[in-house]
Amino acid sequence: MRLLSLILLFVLTAAVPARAVESAPRPTPAFNGTVHAVAYLGGTVYVGGAFTKVGWGGRTHPRERLAAFDGRTGELLSWAPPADGTVRALAAVPGAVYAAGDFHRIAGQKRDALARINPLTGTVATFQHGIAGTPYALAAGNGRLYLGGSLTAVGGRPVRNVAAFSLATGALDTGWQAGADDRVHTLALAGEDVLLGGAFKTVNADRLAVRLAAVHATTGVLDRYFRPKVAAEVNAIAVDSLGVYVATGGQGGRAIAYTFDGSTRWQRVFDGDTTAITTVGGVAYIGGHFDRVCLTARNGPQGACLDGSVPRVKLAAVTGDGRLTDWNPQANGVIGVRVLTTDPATGSLDAGGDFTTIGGRLRPRFARF
């Protein structure tokens, strides 16, 4: 019942609800390639992806798959450790920014798909592991760095698509026993638990832990109190005082809100995959490949809504009781939005992906609301 204890924790520590998120984006750097990941430390926003250049102040600056900007002014910072492959995930803690992805070198140093980087200088720390497989997700907390993906080994030691490392020593936590039978696409922290989302059919050999599960943050033991039902691969997870939220693929896509025991609170159906989700002030913000939100849960081939729909192009917002809001920024592109996050320092909502415009305004691959 570890997730249930979060209810009291959130009630005691929740901040004043944020004001409604605006549809018009604020000035931020522009990217020439896909943005996959965003992380925050103090007032700095760290961005990772497949880009090689960033535009700011009327100029183009080299930034090979990693960049940073000031969260209050939008100004591009000099932090620029080059990675030789796509950065798919970021996590930040005091003194370190962790990156995971397809790279083999960062800042000239050999790093196999996982690296620890100084948040001020961009130099690479001694944290180094051989990763067999492809990382997709990072999360940091409870004294650990958690890594998810399609993973078979870390430093030659077998793992099952998820692993944990000590933040203090950098060593693989061999006592953390979580494992999934298929890829882990997303991770989120929830009190004493780590939430796993992906394509798996079992976690720790439990056949009821399908696509979304919770494991203990320090032991990796499955939390059998949290028993959600999810019909398609989970692409993203968010947590707030009301519960757990997921963005899924499938026939069309779905945004689903759960209580802390895994009971469904609400779900909304889209005509394309949902790939990103976060919350601001009790409202869930959803991003993905979709162009419309279905009026009912019924959809057909290619996700077509069968009972009517409302236009929402790549971005939408849903209230705490499941009602679609009028927030409608309209991102362009086929893939659209890949990541949505909330800046804890400013309360801003950040979107990254493959889009180049928001509401017809030029916003290449990143937007801040």
| Confidence label for 14 from pLDDT (cuts 50, 70 and 90) | very low
Give the helix/strand (H/E) hosting 12: helix 6-13
Give the distance, in angstroms, between the CA of residue 136 and the centroid of all CA atoms in the same chain. Answer: 9
Contact (Cβ atoms closer than 8 angstroms) between residue 184 and residue 203: no
Both tokens of 261, joined, read 């025991």
Contact (Cβ atoms closer than 8 angstroms) between residue 187 and residue 237: yes
Contact (Cβ atoms closer than 8 angstroms) between residue 96 and residue 144: no
pLDDT tens per residue, range 268-319: 999 999 999 999 999 999 999 999 999 999 998 888 999 999 999 999 999 9
Q: Count, in order, helices (H) and strands (E) of the chain.
A: 1, 32
Residue 18: pLDDT above 60?
A: no
Higher pLDDT, 1 or 288: 288
pLDDT tens per residue, range 248-270: 998 889 999 999 999 999 999 99
| pLDDT computed for residue 181 by the predictor | 98
- Mean pLDDT on 191-209: 97
Mean pLDDT of the chain: 93
pTM (two decimals): 0.93
| Three-state secondary-structure class, residue 3 | helix
Which residues make Cβ contacts (< 8 Å) with residue 337, sequence separation at least 6? Answer: 275, 276, 287, 288, 314, 315, 331, 351, 352, 353, 355
Contact (Cβ atoms closer than 8 angstroms) between residue 130 and residue 114: no
Give the helix/strand (H/E) hosting 350: strand 349-353
Higher pLDDT, 13 or 292: 292
Both tokens of 292, joined, read 């419309």
Both tokens of 216, joined, read 């203990």
Secondary structure, 3-state, 221-283: CECCCCCCCCCCCEEEEEEECCEEEEEECCCCEEEEEECCCCCEEEEEEECCCEEEEEEECCE
Contact (Cβ atoms closer than 8 angstroms) between residue 163 and residue 131: no
* Residue 79: closest CA among 124, 120, 107: 120
Higher pLDDT, 86 or 25: 86
pLDDT tens per residue, range 41-90: 999 999 999 999 999 999 999 999 999 999 999 999 999 999 999 999 99
pLDDT tens per residue, range 172-188: 999 999 999 999 999 99
| pLDDT computed for residue 2 by the predictor | 58
| pLDDT computed for residue 43 by the predictor | 94
Contact (Cβ atoms closer than 8 angstroms) between residue 289 and residue 276: no
| pLDDT computed for residue 302 by the predictor | 82
| Confidence label for 3 from pLDDT (cuts 50, 70 and 90) | low
